[in-house]
Structure 1
Amino acid sequence: MSLKNPVETLLQWAKDKPNQPWLYQPVNDVWKKYTWAEAEAQVRSMATALRSLGLPPGSAIAISGRNTAHWVLADLAVAMAGYISVGLYPKQAPEAVTYILNHCEAKAVFIGPMPDVDEFLGALPAGIKTIAFPYADVPPCDHNWDDLVRAHEPFAGYQPPDPKALASLVYTSGTTGNPKGVMITSENLVFATGGLLKTMPAQGQERFFSYLPLAHAFERGAVEMASIYLGAEVWFLENLDKLADQLKHVAPTRFFGVPLVYGRIQAGVLRKMPQEKLDRLMKIPLLSTLVKKKIKKGIGLQNARYLFVGAAPMPIPLMQWFEKMGITVLQGYGMTENNIYATANLPGANRIGSVGRAMPGADMRIYEPDEKGEGEIQYKHAGVTPGYYKDPEKTAELFTADGWLRTGDRGRIDADGYLFITGRVKDIFKTLKGKYVAPAPIEGALSRNTDIDQLCFVGAGLKQPIMVITLVQPNEKSREEIEQGLIADMEAVNAKLEAHEQIAKIVVAKEAWTIDNNIMTPTMKVKRNVVEQRYMPLLEKTAGDYKTKVVWE
């Protein structure tokens, strides 16, 4: 049976279970509920309001701010009115905001609560209409959500668009150059969600916790779209300072995170119970069970049947640590260009170190594999984007001559169909010795060290590659203890590498890597080129000193 599109599915839920709560929005720790019927009413009236603004058919309308109930309602209202939604990250660089809005020729933008709102407003192109979400920390705009909803009748006569028509633009937060607008159709969304329903059907009333940016395809698909089709509740994070407390309050049945989030959860547990004490308790059978139960409840993951990590590789030691706590974290893989529909590990079919097996209908191949079976990972299925908006040249580069999506990732598939990612095609660099080095596997190997928060292996222009890292904070260990651990792990990693791949030394960066200082993308990936630019003077200065294994900035 074919699925309806997201707007049709909303209308169906509003008819079938009108009084069932769907969205939970916290304001000062008080949760306001929106039932399916209330959500439908808001979406219909906002769709009428958008039409009343006189925007040309098919116009792009942007949605900004942190995750809120109104972000999701706006997305559906834009679709119902026949426009194209464009998500913007809460901490998007002003120049990126200006570029995106000009590139898609956005006619209006919803303004949600966000940090640095003045910078955001200053980045808006002249003439764009602004609509304020109804939150106290949103500045005055041309229009206000509540006023528009009250002033307009519910939209009637909704007609589903052509499934292949453009529904949304998701701009990549790429590490170099201007963002690219990935075109997403209703067909893309419905295909990916259909596969998700097959592999992970609802088990009772599902509950999601939404905190990763909805502008990113991962959260949009895994939470917004999944909640619509599963009839699941969505509880939104009020602000980052409340993440631990509100996660514990919500106790979701499905939880999605990036490696950085899981690393912070581990650090929070170890601050309360040091690893040595935890290891002792875990050796006592009865106490072990009680400790695991207490940790799960203390985090807020006691109800989670599915815990997924995506957007970047999760260190194997971190996954194994959670496994020892009785918490199985499942690694998945996907990209905006294939609507985050590629592979996933699943309960009972989880191979740590891999990113799982192909999802239903996701045709996958390794293109021109080498002697190790490694080559570029490529896909062909109905969830794959038609291409990049207004960029036929880059669209042509995205696909092979026979129509397969080029991911830019290298990998291999084992005998049981599990995919292992071994690096990025373009991340491979050449040292001054003329030897090529793939950084991803080496970064993954060194990430066994639990003092490391972020790391980036660089070597272009150097005789021997150097690892740049930041440390987990707070850290109660002395500098000497940290150095000893880093050197021991570096030597263990080097022992398995070719001479030209070995880590010459580790440079400990003083400044944390964040979205704000432009070293990480909004999806929390390290910008390799920025790390190289920022630290290259220090790397070149210390490169000749092979005796010093750890350098502190």
Structure 2
Amino acid sequence: METIHLAECEAQVRSMATALRNLGLEPGARIAISGRNTAHWFLADLAIAMAGYVSVGLYPKQAPEAVKYILTHSEAKAIFIGPMPDVGEFMGALPQGIITIAFPYPDVPACTYNWDDLVRANEPFAGYQAPDPKQLISLIYTSGTTGNPKGVMINGENLMFATQGLLKVMPAQGQERFFSYLPLAHAFERGAVEMASIYLGAEVWFLENLDKLAEQLKEVAPTRFYGVPLVYNRIQSGVLKKMPQEKLDRLLKIPLLSSYVKKKIKKGIGLHNARYLFVGAAPMPVPLMQWFQKIGITVLQGYGMTENNIYATANLPHANRLGSVGRALPGADMRIYEPDDKGEGEIQFKHPGVTPGYYKDPEKTAELFTADGWLRTGDKGRIDQDGYLFITGRVKDIFKTLKGKYVAPAPIEGALSRNTDIDQLCLVGAGLKQPVMIVTLSQAGLAKPREEVEQGLVADMEAVNATLEPHEQIAKILIVKDAWTIDNGIMTPTMKVKRNEVEKRYMPLLQRHDGDYKTKVIWE
């Protein structure tokens, strides 16, 4: 394990900024970064900004077509390459003539230049001046569930406003320690971990391998932890594998043991030091949040998108309402546009963290904003009397069944996800008479007899259906064999399920069973 201290980080950043200037690129040239999360990802990002260039992040598991598209569309002149899986495939997707710079890690292929050589050969950059806040500093390409990625423009003002706002509501409490494992190509990890750690002078530990997440989380024991619902779901599965729910419930009821058990579980997970635990990217089921609360862990749900620099709403330790995504963050103006009789409408924002628009795409930029300058999120929601935002779906994510009636899948998925035998789920119904829930099983579900899994799923499905209109009710549950991953194209790099890909993959099977209302559970 290598440790790099702040003074050394600064020296390397300054020397790399000089090296980049010496490549002879025009001011504002785009320079890409890819590879798993490492200290050098941070350093490259800072060096690019110091030298007056624009950083472009790429996911280490990005599809070759997306790599080609992003580098061509952004007109990237150079790219930093870090350790990553399938590196040969990635290198094969690079446009001809792009300058490559290798980070100093094993398994990084030969490149035009090597990080350590450039740092040694160049004097530290001394002529840095703070840029105009409106100057473009980064392009963050949305992973998107359909179509080509869009390059969200982020300027200095966007970045500073969002970072400073987050630290107002989550101030430092002593020495802070971060664990960086979510993709750095995404706006959230860049702001909440990279930028915040620099402001706070915090330690940052980097995940070496996704398969070692549980093991290394315990080793790091961060003071702040951020995850997507799937990560928390798997933490829960890990706990229940060692201590079944019935035993856990029994022990938590014994006053003398309850406190000891909670402490032991928190330490076993690696969350005993965590002062802030956040979940985002997708809704986290309320029953899962309640389960964590039972063991003494409060998970706070927040909301944001690349286009508003992930600065929108958050629940906080002193203001947490389960099921909501919290209240608007300081300085973030929020409104519900044209609410219906339930108070639901499109969620819109206006604040200095909002992007100026999409790179080289005036048409999509125009669609992104209302006539009076508010950012259209595409998400549907309502705000309660205390200012807490509840997301009720996507404006365009609804589908129509063959009965001609519209169904909003998000609330139904959220309701069924209370079942701990489910790992991932997706409601589909376009081209069907009645909606069907497609699920993959958690480790707990895979370990149970089929009959027991089916009984639990049917009971929960019937409970959910009792709250729905007839046309919204789940006709059946399809249990599929393969997990949904970034590798097989079912999930985006930010771990969101691609509904269109799920539909494409399983529709032939669903159509064969459409109209069969007797069978409640199908196994692929």
Shift in Å at residue 245 of structure 1?
1.8
Cα distance in 2 between the residues matched to 1:372 and 1:500: 19
Root mean square deviation of aligned Cα? 0.7
Show CA shifts across 1:468-515 (max 9, x none). 111113621001100000000000000000000000000111111000
* Contact persistence 1:366–1:374 (CA under 8 A): yes
Provide Cα deviations, 1:225-251, integer angstroms capped at 9, x if missing partner. Answer: 111112211111111122122111111
Structure 1 stretches of at least 4 aligned residues deviating more than 3 Å after TM superposition: none
Asked if 1:293 is matched to 2:299, the reply is: no
Equivalent position to 1:536, from 507, 514, 518: 507
CA distance in 1, matches of 2:352, 2:201: 23
Stretch of structure 1 that moved more, 355-364 or 47-56: 47-56
- Provide the rounded CA distance (Å) in 2 between the counterparts of 1:352 and 1:217: 25
- In structure 1, the residue matched to 2:135 is 165
For residues 479 and 222 of structure 1, what CA distance do their matches in structure 2 show? 42
**1:488-503 superposed matches below 5 A:** 488-503=459-474
1:45 aligns with 2:15: yes
Q: How does 1:110-509 map to 2 (within 5 A)?
A: 110-473=80-443, 475-509=446-480
CA distance in 2, matches of 1:333, 1:154: 39
CA distance in 1, matches of 2:400, 2:71: 37
Structure 2 residue aligned with 1:86, among 38, 50, 56?
A: 56
Residue 524, structure 1, aligned to residue 489, structure 2: no
Shift of 1:138: 0.6
Q: Tell me the amino acid that sits aligned with residue 70 of structure 2.
A: I
Q: What is the distance in 2 between the residues matched to 1:169 and 1:305?
A: 31
Offset of 1:133 from its aligned partner? Answer: 0.2
Alpha-carbon separation, structure 2, partners of 1:197 and 1:455: 34
| Cα distance in 2 between the residues matched to 1:176 and 1:350 | 33
- Secondary structure at the residue paired with 2:71? helix
Structure 2 gaps of 5+ residues are none
Q: Distance in 2 between the 1:57 and 1:195 partners?
A: 30
| Counterpart-to-counterpart distance in 1, 2:68 and 2:377 | 27
| Paired residue secondary structure (1:33) | coil
Measured in 2, the distance between the counterparts of 1:55 and 1:480 equals 64
**8 Å contact 1:366–1:376 — kept in the other structure?**
yes
Contact 1:218 1:311 in 2 (8 A): no
8 Å CA contact 1:209–1:235 kept in 2: the answer is: yes
Structure 1: 5+ residue stretches without partners: 1-29
Compute the displacement of 1:434 (Å).
Answer: 1.0
The equivalences for 1:59-98 within 5 A come to 59-98=29-68
Q: Distance in 1 between matches of 2:374 and 2:47?
A: 33
CA distance in 1, matches of 2:412, 2:212: 34
**Letter of the structure 1 residue corresponding to residue 272 of structure 2:** Q
TM-score by length of 2: 0.99
Give the length in aligned residue pairs: 523
SS of the residue 1:131 aligns to = strand
Instruction: Give the residue type in structure 2 aligned to 1:527.
Output: K
